[in-house]
Every structure is written in structure tokens, then in C-alpha cells.
Amino acid sequence: MGVALLLFLVGATSAFAQSDATAEADGHFERGGYYEASKEYIKAYPRIKDDIEEKARCAYMVGECFRLMLTPDAAEEWYDKAIGLRYGEDHPEVYLHYGDIMMAQQEFDEAIEWFQTYAEKGGDASVSRARIQQADDDALALDEPPSRYVVQNLLLLNSDAYDFGAGFASKKSDEIVFASSRESATGSGEDPITGQSFMDLFRAEQDKKGRWSTPEPLNNTVNTPSNEGTVTFDKKFKTMYFTRCIVENDNNYACDIYRSSVMGTRMGPSELVDLVNREANDSSQVGHPAMSPEGDYLLFVSDMEGGQGGKDIWYVKYDDREDRFGEPVNLGPGINTPEDEMFPAMRYDGALYFSSHGYGGLGGLDIVRAMPMEGEMQFGEVEVLPYPLNSSSDDFGIIFYEGQDGGIFTSSRPGGKGKDDLYSFELPDIEFCFRANVYDYDTGIPLMGSITVQGSDGNSWALTADADGGVSLCEDEIQKNTTYTVEVKNDGYIGTGDKFSTVGLTESTTMAREYFLKEISEKEYPMPLVLYPFNQASLLINEEVNSADSLNYLLELLQVNETFVIQLEAHTDSRGGNASNMDLSQRRAQTCVDYLISRGIEAERLVAVGRGEEQLLISDAEINAMATNEEKEAAHQKNRRTVFRILRFDYVPKASE
């Protein structure tokens, strides 16, 4: 459950068949005093001699205490004892919770085995299936992270205790206040929930190199012998709001929100923010304050009547001129669920972030988001944030740097410094890279060709390949949401090129290309098949064939190689008279030339030549020897071809004259 319970003191639901030996421990547990309960259960365990069922329950309850105190290794030991005493025969939940603590430690295979055992021993099969699916999803997220977020433990801020609930204390986000139960906390006594000091608020500053100072406790106008935690500041960073849960003489009172004025590096006197009529309601918990970006709303968490169940997110309007808060309003079923919603925060753009048990996710508390919509405090559909922002442990208390998709949040995930730790997160820029190699088409030898890259954003580069035929643009030159045209040339070769685009890409990507250039010669060059209707010179275009697309290959070649003058040659098969075939092929060649001229190619660069049936690729004798009509027709088709030759490459484009 994590530190979420530390400022909302509630008991876990368990059925108690108390014995005299465990009565005191059960009382602590029902009040949420897990540390005190664990000590009493452990003390009672060896004293239970004859009642094996009660001894097994006692071991299970120790495991529950350690699970709720985020001490999974100790919980394992006591769950093992309970299972060894056959507690799971009538109480399959021990297997479920065993799986949960293995999940929290990212031991997913073992967790799945315990969830399966839970179902086999009579547990809810649907719960088992959901947990197993969650374990599979979590394992996959670790192996193949679904997002580019980078998360780092803030070692200089964290301790081996609980550190959580941060709020930025300056506009530059270089000052922070957070709650901690570290040894230097001034809270008196031992928290019966954790066995550590009561929570206090600590402050730290970040230097120009990004290094955080050693956290120091706030002065005693804020920190008291009771629990303080989970802070937010107004938009001018002149007032701090925080949660306080008063404990006096072993009595836990309902939590409330307080505020204090910033006075340099010190805080002024703290005063209650009266959101609940305590004369009529002395038990509803109120905490986890969060101020909206414009300072006109204060969000908070409460289990007061009128919610959706569990702990809900509420808000009140705030009138800065009158310094007055309105009536609490529940954010409604679009945000709140029958489970717990806690630790709200509003990003600079009005998006609502909070943590919940009610939206699935990766286990424990998960951070979720709802984007703003038109209307007062209206939000869209809730979505769970991906790993590594969420984990199989508790993740909560997210806050953002101004104008950035980065900030700080709290997590109890494995590998931390303490029970709950503060983590930074950022979404690094997507990086794109263009790498290309140029080769001779026939020999594969690298060519030191020239490569021009032109971006739709106006940026361009003229590059020369190295001795290996390689070039690259990898130093932030290639930008997102941009399309690039590439032209590759080398003296004595037919130039080529293509396009690539970063539009719509959401991951860092390397655009790898290989360009093979054909050396210029007097031979004829094949091109994509150009077809014509029977005995006609027009281009064949129907649902199956578009000969204009075939000619676009030549169009692009001429656009890249602006100095080329080419001869288009059309050939027929041997059927029909020689004179008519010559005339037909000439008209077909001219059709191709006319198409290229219509697309902007200068007429002086194009020569149309009809070859008729003079240069057959497959002779009539070879065709007549073929076995089937299909083979013969295919051979005639190969003879009916359109090719081109490069006559010269000294044409001066008109734009350059």
C-alpha cells in the first residue's frame, strides 16, 4: 500500500478471530499501527502452543504488517511460516498477497506461480487472471519499455526512510519541499504505522550544475511532533499548503490541510484551511493539496460523504482577493472510482494528474492523467501513464517543471534508497540520424559521390562521401516533422535519389540508405514496363495498369540528372507489317516524350525513336518453339518494350543559362 496510508490513517480489512495473545496486536492493526502490531504479533507467536490455526493466523498477520510497511523480504518470511502451518487451506488470500510482494520486487515468474496457487486453493479466479496478466504486462514493460521516459533516483534528496510528496518552491523549480521520516525529522516519538519518526517537511535547493543541497527541515512553525506531508505552493510561491495529521497521546486525529506564508528561507505561522466543518464531521480525512496553475482552484483528497467511494479528489474555488475558499465539489465519476484516488496535481497546461487503484495499470498506486476540456474543472478520459513512470509498486505525487515534460514523482519501486524515494523524470528529445553509402551498381565499389539533402523546413546540406562511400547527418541536423529529398550524384554515373520523412515518428530513428549508381554508357537502359492498348500509341491506364507511373521513374531520373539528354526507344513484336510496326513504335516513343514534356522536362532533352520489330529480344523461331500460348505471349510482351539511352550529359539547364 505504501506511504499513501501514512497521512490517511485507516485500517486494513481483515477478519479477526482474536486470542488473548494477539488481542493487543489486532487492535494496533485495526487502527493502522502496522509497526506496533508487528512487534506484538512477533512477541505473541512463540507463546501460541496448542492452537495451530491461531498460530498460522498470527504469522500471516506479521506478513501483512510488513507488506503494508513496504518490507517485502520480511513479509516473505512470515507468509512462508503461515503457509507452512497450512493457513492457506482456508485463507487463499495469503497466496494472493505473497504474489503481490513478489510483484513489488519485480519477481514476476514467482508472482505468477503464487497467483495460480491462489486460484487453485479457492481464490477468485478472475482476480487471479487479472494479476497474472498484470505480471505479464509488467515483465514485458521492463524488457521493452513502452515509452522514452528516463527516470533517475534523486540520491542526494532521498534517505533510507520515507521521502515523498514533493512540491516545487520556486518558479525555476530549483527549490523543493517534501516530506520525510528520516532521522533528522523533528517529529517526536515513533510512528506506530512505520516504526520511524513522524513525517516532517524538508527543503533543498539546486545549484547551477543541477546538484541538490542536503535537505534541511523547515522551522517549527510548520513542523510539529505530528505528521506533515504532501505540499503545494500558490502560483507566486508565497504560500505553501500542506497536510498535517495530528497525533496526541496515541490518538490519531483526522488529517487536514494547513498553509503557511513563505518568509525568505523560513516559513510563517501555519493556519488551518477550513474545508470541512469539524463540529459536524470530525472523522473525514482531508489532505494532499494541489493548487491549479492559475491559483483559482485548490484540489484535495478526502473520504467525506458525497464521493464515489474510497478516497476521492475534490476541489474548491479560491478567491485570492477575498482570501476565501468555496464549497467542496467532487470531481465526479469521470475521475473518481470506488477505489482510492490520491495525490492530485495540475500541470502547467491544465492537465490533471493523480494516482489511483481504480484504473488498472502496473500494480500498486499508478499515476494517471486526464486532459483538460471546456468547462469548469472538466477533464477528458483518464489514461494510465506508461512504464517507467509507473511500476509494479506504488507510484504517486507527480509534479512538473514549468513548460516541460519532466519533473519529479515518488515511488516505492525496487532499487531505491529507502522505503519511498523521490525520482526525477524527463522525456529526452527524439534523435534522428541519416546515414548513407554510395556504391557502383555493377562492381559494388564505394564511390565518393556528392549527396544533397534538402529539408522541407528550408535546411539543406551538400555532402561528399568518404573513401568508404559513407556520409551521415547525426548531430541534431535531422528534425522532427520534416520531409527530406536526397539527390546522389557522381561524375560519369547516372544520379539517383529518394525521400525520407520524420513526420509522425515517435521514436529515435536512423534512416539508413544505400545508393547504387549505374555508370553511363551507350547501351540501352531498361525501365519499368510501359504498356499501350492493342495497336494504339496511347498509354494504357486502367484498374490494373498505370503506365504513367512507369514513366515517372524516368521523370525522376531526368529531374535528378539535369544535364542528361536521352533517347526514348519503343519496340514492337514481330506480328503485323514492318512498316506499320515502325510507325506504331514511333508514335509510342513520341507519346512517352510528350508525357515527360507535360511534366516539365525540356523538349531539347528528349528524342523519340521508333524501332519497330528491328531489334527483337526473342526471335520468332524461339517463340514458335515454345510449348504453350502463355509462354509465347509472354515472349512477345518482352519484345514490346520501351527503353532509353543517354545520348550525352552536357545539357545546360535553362535556369542555369
What's the CATH number where 250 sits? Answer: 2.120.10.30
The answer as to whether 207 is a domain residue is yes
The answer as to whether 345 is a domain residue is yes
pLDDT band at 124 (very low <50, low <70, confident <90, very high): very high
| Measured distance CA(422)–CA(166) in Å, rounded | 8
Residue bearing the bigger pLDDT, 641 or 316 = 316
Mean pLDDT of 481-504: 93
**Among 143, 167, 182, where does a domain finish?**
143
**In the prediction, which pLDDT does 198 show?**
82
Name the grid cell of 131.
Answer: 494479476
φ/ψ bin of 61: left (φ > 0), alpha (ψ from -120 to 50), beta (otherwise): alpha
| Measured distance CA(68)–CA(193) in Å, rounded | 9
Mean pLDDT of 68-82: 89
**In the prediction, which pLDDT does 191 show?**
63
Pair (252, 124) in one structural domain: no
Q: Kindly state the percentage of the chain with pLDDT values over 70.
A: 94
Q: What is the DSSP string of 578-590?
A: HHHHHHHHHHHHH
| Measured distance CA(576)–CA(599) in Å, rounded | 33
Mean pLDDT of 468-477: 93
Pair (186, 333) in one structural domain: yes
Pair (131, 169) in one structural domain: no
Statement: residue 638 has pLDDT above 50: yes
Cβ 349 vs Cβ 372: under 8 Å: yes
Burial class (CB in 10 A: 0-12, 13-18, 19+), 209: exposed
pLDDT band at 558 (very low <50, low <70, confident <90, very high): very high
Q: Which residue's C-alpha cell is 526507344?
A: 569
| Measured distance CA(69)–CA(356) in Å, rounded | 19
Pair (187, 278) in one structural domain: yes
pLDDT band at 196 (very low <50, low <70, confident <90, very high): low
Pair (573, 644) in one structural domain: yes
Residue bearing the bigger pLDDT, 543 or 234 = 234
The answer as to whether 528 is a domain residue is no
CA 93, 98, 101, 107 dihedral sign is negative
**In the prediction, which pLDDT does 422 show?**
97
Pair (163, 222) in one structural domain: yes
Pair (247, 178) in one structural domain: yes
pLDDT band at 17 (very low <50, low <70, confident <90, very high): low
Say if strands 341-346 and 450-455 run parallel, antiparallel, or are unpaired. unpaired
CB atoms within 10 A of CB 208: 6
**In the prediction, which pLDDT does 10 show?**
36
Domain count, the chain: 4
Mean pLDDT of 151-160: 95
The answer as to whether 538 is a domain residue is no
Mean pLDDT of 280-307: 92
Mean pLDDT of 129-146: 82
Helix 93-104, helix 108-120: angle, nearest 10 = 170
The answer as to whether 525 is a domain residue is no
Pair (261, 410) in one structural domain: yes
| Measured distance CA(210)–CA(426) in Å, rounded | 14
- Per-residue pLDDT tens for 327-338? 999 999 999 999
What is the DSSP code (8-state) at residue 617? S
**Among 426, 457, 476, where does a domain finish?**
426
Statement: residue 187 has pLDDT above 60: no
pLDDT band at 18 (very low <50, low <70, confident <90, very high): low
- Per-residue pLDDT tens for 573-615? 998 889 999 999 999 999 999 999 999 999 999 999 999 999 9
Pair (173, 130) in one structural domain: no
Ranges 11-20, 360-369, 375-384, most confident: 375-384
The answer as to whether 289 is a domain residue is yes
Pair (381, 497) in one structural domain: no
**In the prediction, which pLDDT does 13 show?**
37
| Measured distance CA(342)–CA(292) in Å, rounded | 16
Mean pLDDT of 85-89: 94
Mean pLDDT of 345-362: 90
- Per-residue pLDDT tens for 45-74? 999 988 999 999 999 999 999 888 778 888
Statement: residue 271 has pLDDT above 80: yes
Beta-bridge partner residues of 153 = 423
Say if strands 341-346 and 352-356 run parallel, antiparallel, or are unpaired. antiparallel
**In the prediction, which pLDDT does 144 show?**
74
pTM of structure:
0.68
Map residue 235 onto helix, strand or coil. coil
The answer as to whether 527 is a domain residue is no
**Among 403, 426, 449, where does a domain finish?**
426
| Measured distance CA(206)–CA(425) in Å, rounded | 16
Q: Which residue's C-alpha cell is 500494480?
A: 363
pLDDT band at 194 (very low <50, low <70, confident <90, very high): low
Domain containing residue 49: CATH number: 1.25.40.10
Among 6-10, 97-101, 123-127, 171-175, whose mean pLDDT is lowest?
6-10
Domain containing residue 486: CATH number: 2.60.40.1120
Pair (337, 479) in one structural domain: no
Contacts of 238 by beta carbon, 8 Å cutoff, 6+ apart: 261, 262
**In the prediction, which pLDDT does 2 show?**
40
Statement: residue 339 has pLDDT above 60: yes
pLDDT band at 228 (very low <50, low <70, confident <90, very high): very high
The answer as to whether 536 is a domain residue is no
**CA distances (Å), origin 196, targets 35, 156, 492:** 9, 20, 80
Residue bearing the bigger pLDDT, 251 or 471 = 471
**In the prediction, which pLDDT does 7 show?**
46
| Measured distance CA(329)–CA(337) in Å, rounded | 15
pLDDT band at 15 (very low <50, low <70, confident <90, very high): very low
Mean pLDDT of 401-423: 91
**In the prediction, which pLDDT does 12 show?**
34
Q: Which residue's C-alpha cell is 539547364?
A: 653
Residue bearing the bigger pLDDT, 357 or 214 = 214
**In the prediction, which pLDDT does 1 show?**
38
Q: Which residue's C-alpha cell is 520480511?
A: 74
Pair (137, 163) in one structural domain: no
Q: Which residue's C-alpha cell is 527541515?
A: 217
**In the prediction, which pLDDT does 450 show?**
95
Range of the domain at 159: 150-426
Residue bearing the bigger pLDDT, 449 or 363 = 449
Residue bearing the bigger pLDDT, 72 or 568 = 568
